[in-house]
Structure 1
Amino acid sequence: MITLLVNGEHRQVDAEPETPLLYVLRNDLGLMGARFGCGLGLCGACFVHVDGVAVPACDTPIWSLEGKAVTTVEGISPHPVQRVFLDEQAAQCGYCVTGIIMSAVALLGRSPHPGEPEVAAALDRHLCRCGAQQRMVRAIVKAGEDDD
């Protein structure tokens, strides 16, 4: 048994230490926000926060999370970025959105009023096949402006 701190709760899981966090979140804990995309940490669909930093859950083994706080998109709700994404119709199909929102929340935590270049750089590891990136960038910038 391994104990993880997920969304503020200690959760025990019966899994091998090398098991990717994504599998534990979805299969053992029923948290479906992080999605499987590439399995290599390259597309961003599975991003969660580990101690406030956005990381790919698909290639983060659970052994590496001892003493660290994991936050999923379910753990940040409701968040202003989510509202702005809806208001600005920033998402299209939605598959990549939860990972992008997690990166946006991490960015706004360290830079409350980012400009478009900073947002674009923060989303560089995310793949949106629908081509909605510019709407997402504008929504995240607006979320920083609305924070005033």
Structure 2
Amino acid sequence: MEADITLTVDGRPRALRVDTRTTLLDALREHLDNTAPKKGCDHGQCGSCTVLLSGRRVVSCLILAAAADGAEVTTAAGLGDEAAPHPLQQAFVEHDGLQCGYCTPGQVCSAAGVLDEAAAGWPSAATPPDDLAEGSAPVLTDAEIRERMSGNLCRCGAYAGIVAAVGDAARAHAPAESGGNR
């Protein structure tokens, strides 16, 4: 059975017809030629296919495209480009947060989600109880970043650069009045 769906991908409305069993990842890659999200494990375990779905980070290999009908999808390609890179993309380059680059689009999308989640005050398993005051944002320490990014694997082991890149981007965009490392 097929379904007609509409997605806004990287700011551009796209209409397509997909088999109802098609994942969002396959719709993006095979139907829309958007190869930013990568097919790694195809089981939701590696994070290579991470995109932002209506602002929330998701592994696109586990979501049916038909279930995302009407949603806004942002891939790493939609965050920025060569002429105007997103601050996270720039930080990944500056901190050598990549080696082969296969996982990088998923890492960057996940990192964007991490920054938004922390700014919204969402705790993680690593958030100290003192950081859970109502209305406050958790401090993105290296341990906090590692916990929040733990769903994104890097076969090359570029984790030190990834953590540094996310921390740098978090500090660059923390509100001045907080004085914190969001």
Partner of 2:34: 31
Q: Equivalents in 2 of 1:17, 1:49: separation in Å? A: 21
Partner of 1:125: 151
Q: Equivalents in 1 of 2:173, 2:6: separation in Å? A: 35
TM-score, normalised relative to structure 2? 0.77
TM-score, normalised relative to structure 1? 0.93
In the TM superposition, structure 1's runs of 4+ consecutive aligned residues that sit over 6 Å from their partners are none
Is the counterpart of residue 115 in structure 1 residue 141 in structure 2?
yes
- Work out the number of aligned pairs and report it: 148
Residue by residue over 1:53-102, the C-alpha shift from the partner in whole angstroms, topping out at 9 and shown as x without a partner, is 11111121012112321111111112100001111111111111110110
Partner of 1:57: 60
Task: Specify every segment of 5 or more residues in structure 1 that has no aligned partner in the other structure, as ranges.
Answer: none
Partner of 2:106: 99
**Aligned residue type for 1:6:** V
Describe the SS at the equivalent of 1:93.
Answer: coil
Partner of 2:163: 137
Q: Equivalents in 2 of 1:143, 1:13: separation in Å? A: 35
Partner of 1:3: 6
Q: Equivalents in 2 of 1:29, 1:109: separation in Å? A: 27
Describe the SS at the equivalent of 1:2.
Answer: strand
Describe the SS at the equivalent of 2:78.
Answer: helix
Higher alpha-carbon Rg: 2
Q: Equivalents in 2 of 1:15, 1:63: separation in Å? A: 8
Q: Equivalents in 1 of 2:15, 2:68: separation in Å? A: 13
Structure having greater relative contact order (Cα 8 Å, sep ≥ 6): 1
Q: How much has 1:17 moved relative to structure 2?
A: 2.1
Residue by residue over 1:82-134, the C-alpha shift from the partner in whole angstroms, topping out at 9 and shown as x without a partner, is 00111111111111111011010111123256221221111111111111112
Q: Decide whether the 8 Å contact of 2:48 with 2:104 is kept in 1.
A: yes
Q: Equivalents in 2 of 1:114, 1:63: separation in Å? A: 35
Task: Specify every segment of 5 or more residues in structure 2 that has no aligned partner in the other structure, as ranges.
Answer: 120-138, 175-182
Q: CA RMSD in A?
A: 1.4
Partner of 2:172: 146
Structure 1 segment 16-95 matched on structure 2, within 5 A: 16-77=19-80, 78-95=85-102
Q: Decide whether the 8 Å contact of 2:110 with 2:152 is kept in 1.
A: no
